[in-house]
Amino acid sequence: MVRSFDDTTRRNIASRCAAFTRAPAGPALPALKRAAVAIALTAAEAGEGTAFLLTRRAASLRSHAAQWALPGGRCDPGETQAQAALRELHEELGVELAEGCVLGLLDDYPTRSGYLITPVVVWVGADAAITPNPAEVASVHRIALADIERADAFSFTTIPESTRRVIRFRHDGQHIHAPTAALIYQFGEVLAGRQTRVADLEQPVFAWK
C-alpha cells in the first residue's frame, strides 16, 4: 500500500500514534541510559509516497560503527525523548524541526548495550534539506512505508545465546537487526492499528556491546 506524502497521511499516522498505548516501564528499566531515535517521515524517492529516513552509521564511530540505524542517540540531562530525537535528527542529518512536528512516541526498547530507546515519530516536510554529518553518518536512505508493510518484510530466527526470537528486516538484500528492526516493526504494526510489543525481541550478539 502506497501512502501519499500529504496532509491526509500525516493526520492518519498521527491518529494511529495517538491510539497506541505505550507499555509501562518495567522495574529494571530505570538503570538503563535514556536514548531516543527519530522515525522521520518524508517523501519517498521516485514518487513512491511516504518514507522514513534510515542511516548507515559512520565507520569511524566508537560504537556500532557502520551499522544501520534510525537517527538518534543518548538523551542529554533535562531533555525529553522528543527533544533528544529532534536534536539528534538535526545533528546527524541537518533537519531542524519544531516539537509540533512530533506525531507520537512508541514503546521504549531496552538494549543489551545498556540503553532504553524511545522511538519518536516525526513529520519532515517534503522540501526539507537533508545534509548528513559525515562524522556520524555514512549514508542516508529513504525507506518507503510500503516496504515495511509487506508480509515478508520481517523474519525471525534464533541464536544459541538466547531463548528470545531475533527479528530481522530485509532491505536491499541485507538483514537489518534489532534494535532498529524491532522499532521499525512496531511502527509498521502501529500503522496497521495493532498494539504489538517488541521489548522481548532479541538482538544479534554483535549488537550486545
- Which CATH number is 83's domain given? 3.90.79.10
In a domain, 1, yes or no: no
Assess if residue 113 is contained within a domain: yes
Q: Which residue has the cell 528470545?
A: 164
- The pLDDT assigned to 18 comes to 98
Amino acid 173: pLDDT = 84
Res 172: pLDDT: 81
Instruction: Give the pLDDT score at 31.
Output: 83
Cα-based angle 20, 189, 129 (whole degrees, multiple of 5):
90
Range of the domain at 85: 7-149
22-53 b/e (C-beta count within 10 Å ≥ 16 → b) = eeeeeeeeeebebbbbbbbbbbbeeebbbbbb
39 Cβ contact partners less than 8 Å away, ≥ 6 residues apart: 52, 70, 106, 119, 120, 121, 122, 183, 184, 187
Q: How many domains does the chain have?
A: 1
pLDDT at residue 103 in the model: 98
* Average confidence (pLDDT) per 10 residues, the chain, 209 residues: 90 98 78 95 87 86 73 96 98 96 97 94 90 91 94 94 94 90 98 96 87
Would 70 be classed as within a structural domain? yes
Residue 102 and residue 89: Cα distance in Å, rounded?
A: 12
What is the four-CA torsion angle of 208, 65, 176, 54, rounded to 10 degrees? 130
Domain assignment present for 57: yes
139 located within any domain: yes
Distances, alpha carbon 192 to alpha carbons 4, 17, 32, 114, in Å: 16, 11, 30, 30
Residue 20 lies in a domain: yes
Does residue 190 lie in a domain region?
no
**Per-residue confidence (pLDDT) for residue 126, from 0 to 100:** 79
How high is the pLDDT of residue 45?
84
| The three grid cell numbers given for residue 121, joined into one nine-digit string | 515519530
pLDDT at 115: 93
Is residue 48 within 8 Å of residue 146, measured between CB atoms? yes
Does 198 fall in a domain? no
pLDDT for 174 equals 86
Q: Are 11 and 3 in contact (CB under 8 A)?
A: no
The C-alpha atoms of residue 168 and residue 2 are separated, in whole angstroms, by 22
